[in-house]
Structure 1
């Protein structure tokens, strides 16, 4: 059995290249989404919404947010559980939908769905006759309210829609502002047949590894999209890091040319914080939920990539009413040399141009 021996430098370059963050920029948005396998949807827009910020960081200021809107309207991309995916990839998820529909009664949510079967049929009937619709226009005829210790408590329509997505009955057909528009899944998803469930998981693992470059076979569970890759790829060890990894062999021994990039806090390069610490030595937390006095880097600090290193955080805010991109601080994890400072400055200026905002730097 082949076990590849990698330095941390090797591992970092594999990860950066796989995430389309080296000097070779992708040609178009669809190339980005197919390469990354997904764009996470998140409404926080302190600088820009995540899906747009991730796309800009790969494509540069030539990227227009209208490209993503058009791709969703044309059904080249589809939204599934707050992830935008290539439409052709839905075949990799349909088997899980069919499995969940037939799941054991003890599966979380199944008993609630059974108790609210009339409510379920009312929602599907309304969408069939009048969809796509926002959730507020759907009937709440539940017999047993949804109970939760979290924000979903008594949000019956929202919870019903989430379970109907898991079943493959409904889908996000578009958005009106931040509001999702819901419709019957058969009107939204391509008609491609589902792959057998085991085969679909294998392909998803392979595609995830191709997008990450290097990952653990097993990792802590994450909602919606795992961080691990099962038996995809080939085994590897990384110098100075405990345990074994899986690596995409197609990314080994390739030449590397890096660049500077400003990343979303949700970027897949560092979404797995443990991997980011192990491979990049990068310490990061999203601090918007912390009291101001306890923040080290800022409300929505953007990780800074230069070459194969995550070297700092940019504390910036897009003040759209004021027409400015305000940079409050550049936090250097390691002292920047002149070339790094210039490269980061160029990226900040490009971000301001893309946002069509004037740039305001620290005094």
Structure 2
């Protein structure tokens, strides 16, 4: 039985999303426990290897974890094995306990492995004997076709086996992946478990529920938040209907939005807490500038996965332009959003970070109507100091005045 729709204002919806993602009020997450709590809440964080001022997952976590250091993520991935690199929202990082749910992903990626058994088996045998290896450790120099263009057979053999779930990333050195046999890394109680889904419908329902949790709120519309799920319009409609019927999701009617949003019913206590905090804050005559929290967001931040939704809710039009020709870029190559007090206030293009050189800003743009408020400016400056500290450096620049 579907639950009655929850009615929210746009402001309440914005506040909830910031609270849900740990981006507002005081930091309430710290250490590796905070990292795991957040990733378990949202399912996964997206990985991208570009490193201008840290990689995307590092940028996601520094905006939420008060004491974030890069080594924390490394330890969770490659020492403690609480997290694993694999496909989810494109390349992603998710909890190791989720490994069985991606059996269908692994089956979908069997093609190269099955079409090239000699090379794949040889690579697996070498790793079995020698331990973790990268493509440079294998002397398979024949050029073969690959998803991103011709490449060495050694790379294709390793990546094809990784996509098929026979290998996992053991560790990375300067961006280079070293692979190990999955059976040696994935816990025995998880490795080799059969597909947990009875049919395609159950799989799509699980995946839709997961992605609603990845963003916090989602609508029943085509969405980039559903990339890699395999969910097309008919499957999306059926999955929404089934989840609503079982009361696993609840409709959220936002005043001014044409399309309803949906929340995981299990997250309603978080929504109620957010509304309570927002109400208490609204009853205060004044708020301290120190209570306003700004943060630098990752370009592929979970909050931004459905950019159409963000544009409708926040009036913030953001596109990561790294893969666009220079002549077609509206802003710059690697531009990061800045959020504060439940809204987006600016964006900037940083210089490439090198060692402990101070964080440098190449270009800065205030959003329309932003930049004059002294409390917001102060919170943004604090955010830039925290951001620089997460990179192991400092920030001593000055924010430009709005044009």
2:24, 2:340 within 8 Å by CA — same for their partners in 1? no
Q: Residue 214 and residue 285 in structure 1: after superposition, are their counterparts in 2 closer, same or farther (change >3 A)?
A: same
Instruction: Sort the Cα spacing of 1:223 and 1:139 in 2 relative to 1 into closer, same or farther, 3 A.
Output: farther
Task: Output the CA distance in 1 between the equivalents of 2:345 and 2:229.
Answer: 26
Partners of 1:169 and 1:185 within 8 A in 2: yes
Pick aligned residue for 1:242 from 247, 253, 258: 258
Select between 127-136 and 20-29 the one with higher mean Cα deviation: 20-29
Single out whichever of 242-251 and 48-57 deviates more from structure 2. 242-251
Using the size of structure 2 for normalisation, the TM-score is 0.76
RMSD: 3.0
Cα pair distance change 1:65/1:281, threshold 3 Å: same
Q: Deviations over 1:262-303 (max 9, x none)?
A: 101111111322222122211112233445565443332210
* Aligned 8 A contact 1:325 1:358 in 2: yes
Q: How many residues align?
A: 350
Q: Matched residues in 1 for 2:250 and 2:195: separation?
A: 24
Q: Which residue of 1 aligns with 2:50?
A: 44
Structure 2, unmatched stretches of 5+, are 279-291
Please state if 1:100 is matched with 2:124: no
Report matched runs for 1:148-297 at 5 Å.
151-191=148-188, 192=190, 193-194=193-194, 196-198=196-198, 202-220=205-223, 223-224=227-228, 230=240, 231=243, 233-249=249-265, 250=268, 251-254=270-273, 255-256=276-277, 259-290=293-324, 295-297=329-331
Q: Which has the higher helix share?
A: 2
In structure 2, how many angstroms separate the alpha carbons of the residues matched to 1:307 and 1:225? 33
Distance 2:352 2:335 in 1: 12
1:346 and 2:365 are equivalent in the alignment: no
**CA contact under 8 A between 2:336 and 2:348: conserved in structure 1?**
yes
Which residue of structure 1 lines up, in the alignment, with residue 281 of structure 2?
none
SS in 2 for 1:349: helix
The CA distance in 2 between the partners of 1:218 and 1:343, in whole Å, is 35
Are 1:145 and 2:150 an aligned pair?
no
Q: CA deviation at 1:256?
A: 4.0
C-alpha distance 155-311 of structure 1, shift in aligned 2 (>3 A): farther
* Structure 1 residue runs without a partner (length 5+): 102-108
| Alpha-carbon displacement from aligned partner over 1:59-92 (angstroms, at most 9, x marks no partner) | 13x2111111111212111111331211112122
- The CA deviation string for residues 208-235 of structure 1, in whole angstroms up to 9 with x for no partner, is 3234210124534554468988435122
- What is the aligned partner in structure 1 of residue 282 from structure 2? none
- Normalising by the residue count of structure 1, what TM-score does the alignment of the two structures yield? 0.84
